[in-house]
């Protein structure tokens, strides 16, 4: 786990040493254990690296790394968790010798043998760049689901890449915000993260599951190398759960491989609880773990506590660790001081869509202070298994299938996710049910007209009006196409959540906040075998019998205690914004909203937001949904004022 950077010149000019040093130093926090820079023979290619040592802590594991023949050179961020198995295959089939215990060397050797096809053999998370001195070709790739970031720009025959946007921006003489991205972000949107765009013009993110190849003349080819596959699944829920359990155990086993201390992040929910419970079983089962690589698990769970707020899950986490005979480290997250908040904002590579980033940042800071370098976290199931209330789409699917029993099971699942002054699951479900039934009966009444229109279209008498291309040009579009087997409304919604909105933004949030403190965050549920298996399941195995994440709960039967496994309350990890905005952050928020740059901001209506915030804090309004609207614009405006390369009119004037 590290930070990577690089510059490639296709104009014949040498890359200045200070340029690659500036780029690499900007991501120093991602790699506190070492740094390295490499140039090709004529200095037109430069690779930079900041090291967070996880596997093979010796100097032999440092980067940039090269093959013994000096042909291939690599900078790599992430982990290939099945590197041991790949190393054994390369040794047996191709008689390749290895001089380190790192996964980086395995990647180099794999590229030497298989080229880009090696990516399909990897189980892990990565962003990498490999330069071939024989062909003068540059190859970059990102993991299947975009767990690790990779940004780039290509202007005036200069290709620059790095692990963070802000690093590339330091080399740009003049930069401007990306209008579509920041307008979406200012509304609390997540769309830009799954679109290939960033918050800056001319700086892009390589989409998940994509790779780049640049030939010696600088001709760039971008292609999608990974496509979600449909795999065989058993017919019964019981058999599906058994297979999922096997996959989760193996995913956790692989992700315990480490030469530095490992712990888990733990809330009171089924996702992180499952990871912790599975690891506990692995450690108590004789002979199930690699002694060399799993011995650094410290039997500790880390929990963020929001004392006195509806978001606090400390008691559930404590009860779980006591049941599993583990230690629990509690990080009490209180209202930040202004100095602490701005420190976090400075360290997180651009504006955040939600204040949730702060408790994540604070938790990882606490984890690092306890000597832990690697955590296993529970991201992924919410988006794959219906945790984020895709009620409308689930009910639509049940109606389309004429399955009224499942319709009732869906309602049962979502109306028990929790009640408070800030959020009511019963109210949300009632509204969704009324809306979907109105639409359903309207379609029944309109059916004769729709059928007549279909006949006329088939006869060529009535033509469908396509959207004009220019109407789509400014829309943030998904960078990954949906496969044909994802066809029902609920499956489309879950695919969208996983690949476009919100998971890419959440992954970026966790990457920024963990790497700000030099922590590697591993995610067993993001194992591609688990993802492909879950997306191949019928929707009734995901949401049914009165539960979301049904197949996961069944898989954890007998492993995760039932007070967690069968708890339907959905809290979600966030900041207690309703409480904080009424408390210690109120004056700071108002001061930010009173600036001329906020009130005249080109990307949102600052005057309206300020008035709404004043009304919000002056009344007893407890709506979390309304409180959500305020932070994104405040953080965006604050961030805009920190950019030395922006011209004043780019910040204050309408684009």
Q: Which residues are catalytic?
A: 2
Q: Which helix (H) or strand (E) holds 297?
A: strand 297-305
Which value, in Å, is the radius of gyration of the alpha carbons in the chain?
A: 25
**Residues whose CB falls within 8 Å of the CB of residue 634, separated by 6 or more in sequence, listed in order:** 589, 592, 593, 598
How far is the C-alpha of 610 from the C-alpha of 592, rounded, in Å? 9
Q: Beta-carbon neighbour count of residue 113 at 10 Å? A: 13
How far is the C-alpha of 390 from the C-alpha of 190, rounded, in Å? 16
103 is an annotated ligand-binding site residue: yes
The residue to which tokens 């030497």 are assigned: 112
Query: If DSSP codes are grouped into helix, strand and coil, which group holds residue 229?
Result: coil
Taking CA atoms, 633 is separated from 357, 535, 598, in Å, by 15, 35, 8
Q: Name all contacts of 580-587 with Cβ < 8 Å and 24+ positions apart.
A: 580/335, 580/355, 581/613, 581/616, 581/617, 581/627, 581/630, 582/617, 583/335, 584/335, 584/336, 585/335, 585/336, 585/341, 586/617
Kindly tell me the burial class for residue 287, based on how many C-beta atoms sit within 10 Å of its own C-beta (0-12, 13-18, 19 or more).
exposed
User: Strand pairing of 220-224 and 210-214?
Assistant: antiparallel
Q: Which helix (H) or strand (E) holds 298?
A: strand 297-305
Is the separation of the CB atoms in 9 and 44 below 8 Å?
Answer: yes
Query: If DSSP codes are grouped into helix, strand and coil, which group holds residue 166?
Result: helix
Tokens matching residue 116: 């880009």
The residue to which tokens 């979502």 are assigned: 414
Beta bridge partners of 348: none
CA 471 to chain centre: 29
List binding-site positions for L-glutamine. 103
């Amino acid at each position: 786990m590290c930070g990577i950077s690089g510059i490639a010149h296709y104009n014949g000019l040498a890359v200045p040493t200070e340029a690659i040093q500036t780029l690499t130093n900007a991501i120093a926090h991602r790699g506190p254990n070492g740094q390295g820079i490499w140039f090709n023979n004529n200095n037109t290619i430069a690779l930079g690296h900041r090291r967070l040592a996880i596997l093979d802590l010796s100097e032999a594991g440092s980067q940039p790394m090269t093959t013994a023949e000096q042909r291939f050179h690599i900078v790599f961020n992430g982990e290939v968790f099945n590197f041991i198995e790949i190393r054994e295959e390369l040794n047996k089939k191709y008689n390749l010798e290895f001089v380190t215990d790192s996964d980086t060397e395995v990647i180099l050797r794999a590229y030497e043998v298989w080229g880009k096809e090696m990516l399909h053999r990897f189980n892990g998370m990565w962003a990498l760049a490999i330069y071939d001195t024989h062909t003068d070709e540059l190859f970059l790739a990102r993991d299947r689901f975009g767990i690790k970031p990779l940004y780039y720009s290509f202007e005036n025959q200069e290709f620059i890449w790095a692990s963070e946007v802000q690093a590339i921006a330091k080399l740009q003489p003049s930069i401007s915000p990306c209008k579509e991205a920041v307008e979406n972000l200012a509304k609390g949107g997540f769309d830009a993260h799954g679109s290939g765009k960033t918050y800056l013009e001319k700086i892009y993110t390589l989409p998940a599951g994509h790779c780049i190849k640049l030939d010696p003349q600088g001709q760039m080819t971008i292609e999608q190398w990974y496509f979600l596959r449909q795999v065989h699944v058993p017919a019964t829920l019981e058999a599906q759960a058994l297979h999922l359990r096997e996959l989760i155990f193996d995913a956790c086993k692989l992700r315990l491989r480490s030469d530095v201390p490992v712990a888990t992040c733990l809330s009171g929910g089924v996702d992180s609880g499952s990871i912790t419970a599975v690891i506990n079983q692995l450690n108590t089962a004789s002979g199930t773990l690699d002694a060399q690589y799993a011995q650094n698990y410290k039997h500790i769970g880390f929990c963020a506590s929001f004392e006195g707020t509806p978001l606090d899950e400390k008691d559930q986490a404590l009860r779980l660790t006591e049941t599993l005979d583990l230690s629990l480290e509690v990080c009490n997250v209180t209202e930040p001081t202004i100095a602490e908040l701005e420190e976090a904002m400075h360290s997180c590579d651009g504006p955040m869509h939600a204040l949730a980033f702060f408790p994540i940042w604070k938790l990882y800071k606490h984890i690092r202070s306890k000597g832990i370098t690697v955590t296993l976290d529970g991201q992924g199931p919410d988006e794959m298994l219906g945790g984020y209330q895709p009620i409308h789409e689930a009910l639509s699917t049940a109606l389309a299938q004429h399955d009224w029993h499942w319709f009732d099971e869906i309602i049962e699942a979502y109306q028990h996710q929790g009640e408070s002054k800030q959020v009511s699951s019963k109210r949300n479900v009632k509204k969704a049910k009324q809306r979907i039934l109105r639409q359903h009966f309207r379609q029944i009444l309109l059916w004769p007209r729709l059928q007549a229109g279909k006949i006329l279209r088939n006869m060529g008498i009535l033509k469908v009006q396509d959207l004009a291309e220019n109407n789509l040009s400014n829309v943030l579009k998904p960078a990954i196409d949906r496969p044909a087997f994802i066809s029902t409304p609920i499956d489309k919604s879950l695919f969208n959540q996983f690949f476009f909105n919100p998971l890419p933004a959440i992954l970026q949030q966790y990457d920024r906040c963990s790497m700000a403190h030099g922590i590697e965050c591993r995610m067993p549920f993001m194992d591609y075998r688990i993802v492909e298996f879950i997306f191949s399941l019928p929707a009734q195995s995901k949401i049914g019998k009165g539960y979301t994440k049904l197949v996961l709960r069944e898989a954890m039967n007998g492993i995760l205690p039932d007070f967690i496994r069968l708890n339907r309350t959905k809290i979600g990890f966030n900041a207690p914004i309703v409480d904080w905005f009424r408390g210690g952050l109120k004056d700071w928020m108002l001061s930010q909203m009173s600036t001329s740059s906020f009130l005249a901001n080109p990307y949102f209506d600052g005057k309206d937001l300020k008035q709404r915030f004043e009304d919000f804090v002056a009344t007893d309004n407890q709506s979390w949904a309304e409180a959500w609207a305020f932070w994104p614009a405040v953080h965006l405006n604050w961030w805009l004022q920190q950019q030395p390369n922006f011209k004043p009119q780019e910040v204050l004037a309408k684009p």
